[in-house]
Amino acid sequence: MRASSRGIKILRSSGSACLNFGEAQADVTDKDFINKMSIVVKELKESRNCVKVLLYSKEGDELIRNWILI
């Protein structure tokens, strides 16, 4: 997987987590809230793993890679 593909994956998973969090806040029942929040946690874990891969791959410019990880 190329570095740009990894960056896109990070954007997708983190964006999805943000949108699902917004939906969770609007849910009326506790069951719906818990379900949406579990999806948020899964997406954030995926984002974290993508960031780890990007860090250890050492692809691309080091300054840009470090800026993404801050």
Pick from 51, 35, 41: nearest CA to 18: 41
Instruction: Give tens-digit pLDDT for 7-44.
Output: 777 777 778 888 888 888 887 788 988 998 999 999 88
Higher-confidence position of 12 and 6: 12
Contact at 8 Å (CB) between 36 and 20?
A: yes
Cα 56 to its chain centre, rounded Å, is: 17
- Alpha helices by DSSP H, the chain: 3-26, 30-57, 62-69
For residue 52, pLDDT over 70 is answered with yes
